[in-house]
Structure 1
Amino acid sequence: MKTAYGDHITVELSDHVATVVFDRPPNNHVSVELMRDLADALEALDRDQDCRAIVLASNGKPFCAGADLVSSDGIGGSGMQGIAPLYDQAVRLFSTAKPIVAAVQGAAVGAGLGLALVADFRVAAPEARFSANFVKLGFHPGFGLTHTLPRLIGHQRASLMFLTGRRVKAEEALSWGLVDQVSPLEDLRSAARTLAAEIAENAPLAVAATRKTLRGELAAAVRAQTGHEHEQQSILRATEDFAEGVRAVQERRPGRFMGR
């Protein structure tokens, strides 16, 4: 039986593994409401003793195209007012207790990459792409990525992703440790579920305690980092380069930045 959270999230639990699917076509852009509903779902699973591990997946071609900073009806349409509440929900996601395996079928971009890093593990299809492309918008990274990405793949490779904005393919992401397994697209969710089931077959209290030790003060670190990120984003949003970055994305061309 499926349980719905808001308009875009469903949860199905069987054999101690919950599959949480978000579906916000066409690009699965994050929003405050979507992240709030997702946090509600994960927190409910934390309270469910029958759930021992979670698969986080999405429908559609991209896993998550991040925050829509371009469209007037996207999160960028409200200026910076929509960003801080989004980061509050990000902290809630990082605060949940059950192990999460993300099934990444396509692009995980910007905040979508940040969302993928909420998970403990990532199983990716060959079609998956990972990008922290903020500088191509004239913007600063967010969603706690300046903490979570270096923590996962090291400072040097994280810097390469942040400062170039390049897309990293699944096989390269696997060699970097950004991805834990690559599986054919048609088998992706099954592979993610198999990994989640391998976790779920173990003693749940021991798994929870070990995960808590390994993650340490991750949620608190994300909260502190998103505060700094929001400050820098607020400064950069007022620049001509950001306006040019938005135009460039809309027109599907490289930005012509002037450094002001």
Structure 2
Amino acid sequence: MEMKPVGEVFVGREGMVALVEFRRGPENFFDLGLISSLAEVYDDLGADPTCRAIVLASEGKAFCAGASYAALQGEVNPQDLYDLYGAAARLFACPKPVVAAIQGSAVGGGLGLALSADFRIASPEARFSANFVKIGIHPGFGVSLTLPSLIGMQKAALMIMTGRRVRAEEALAWGMVEDVVPAAELRPAALALAQEIAESAPLALTASRGTLRAGLAEAVSKRAEAEAAEQLRLYKTKDFLEGVKSVQERRVGNFVGA
């Protein structure tokens, strides 16, 4: 499949299915530029009648390890954060079904990105973590809304309050992913599911998905704005600085509650 650059992502087509790929390996950290590019591509594909489904994928060891630590350690611009989550909410507003191919870790905001898709196919190496409390901040990217909606409040609370990593097979049992396939079969499996979706009657598909996801984009936008306010408050704490440092050094944080 020929992949063409569009902004900071690459887009290819296989019949009625579009493959959208970002390439910031090995960890695939995101920033405002990347999420904005994804939102713009989703907007274009959403308006394209020849596209009926999208596969979201990345190139690298991790699917997406969240926001860049370098950006987090600098001065956080409040408007950039609100713009970032505004772009994230646009992903949920895309009218075309999305299948995410998860080949590695989906962490923090990277988990939020994975949860923006309708379906997720994972390889055995995939890991899912809402690790926000481990770096001393509040969940973002709408995770506090989308994760409980997907796996239930109790399991979501467990993930959010511990920051633990959930392996692919456990994620399958929890309903976080639809299937776990060998790494070599991941892209073909995601494309096959997207193709199966694309074979449906397009007007009925759009109407049915619209009913299922009614109000979701608006709810994510509102929740992400509240999450951003909490994150901006916690970015100013000593615990946040210690959290980022402890994660980078792969140790338990020495938090002081200040």
User: Which category of TM-score, normalised to the shorter sequence, fits these structures?
Assistant: over 0.9
Distance in 1, matches of 2:100 and 2:110, equals 11
The one-letter code of the counterpart of 1:106 is G
Which residue pairs with 1:5 in the alignment?
6
How well do the aligned residues superpose, as a CA RMSD in angstroms?
Answer: 1.2
Aligned ranges 1:47-86 → 2 under 5 Å: 47-68=47-68, 70-71=69-70, 74=71, 76-81=73-78, 82-86=80-84
The one-letter code of the counterpart of 2:6 is Y
Which residue pairs with 1:38 in the alignment?
38
Question: Any unmatched runs of 5+ in structure 2?
Answer: none
The one-letter code of the counterpart of 1:79 is V
Of the three residues 137, 154, 157, the one matched with 2:155 is 157
Distance in 1, matches of 2:209 and 2:61, equals 31
The one-letter code of the counterpart of 1:31 is D
Aligned ranges 1:230-245 → 2 under 5 Å: 230-245=228-243
**What is the deviation of 1:84?**
1.3
Give percent identity, aligned residues only: 54
Contact 2:106 2:126 in 1 (8 A): yes
Which residue pairs with 1:120 in the alignment?
118
Which residue pairs with 1:205 in the alignment?
203
Aligned ranges 1:100-179 → 2 under 5 Å: 100-179=98-177
Which residue pairs with 1:20 in the alignment?
20
Normalised TM-score (structure 2): 0.96
Contact 1:170 1:182 in 2 (8 A): yes
**What is the deviation of 1:244?**
1.1
Which residue pairs with 1:248 in the alignment?
246
**What is the deviation of 1:3?**
3.0
Q: How many residues align?
A: 256
Distance in 2, matches of 1:2 and 1:59, equals 12
**What is the deviation of 1:251?**
2.2
Which residue pairs with 1:222 in the alignment?
220
**What is the deviation of 1:143?**
0.4
**What is the deviation of 1:48?**
1.3
Distance in 2, matches of 1:18 and 1:151, equals 26
Contact 2:129 2:163 in 1 (8 A): yes
Distance in 2, matches of 1:76 and 1:102, equals 29
Contact 2:25 2:61 in 1 (8 A): no
Contact 1:19 1:56 in 2 (8 A): yes
**What is the deviation of 1:26?**
3.1
Normalised TM-score (structure 1): 0.95
Distance in 2, matches of 1:177 and 1:251, equals 32
Question: Any unmatched runs of 5+ in structure 1?
Answer: none
Distance in 1, matches of 2:203 and 2:75, equals 43
The one-letter code of the counterpart of 2:74 is G
Distance in 2, matches of 1:62 and 1:186, equals 15
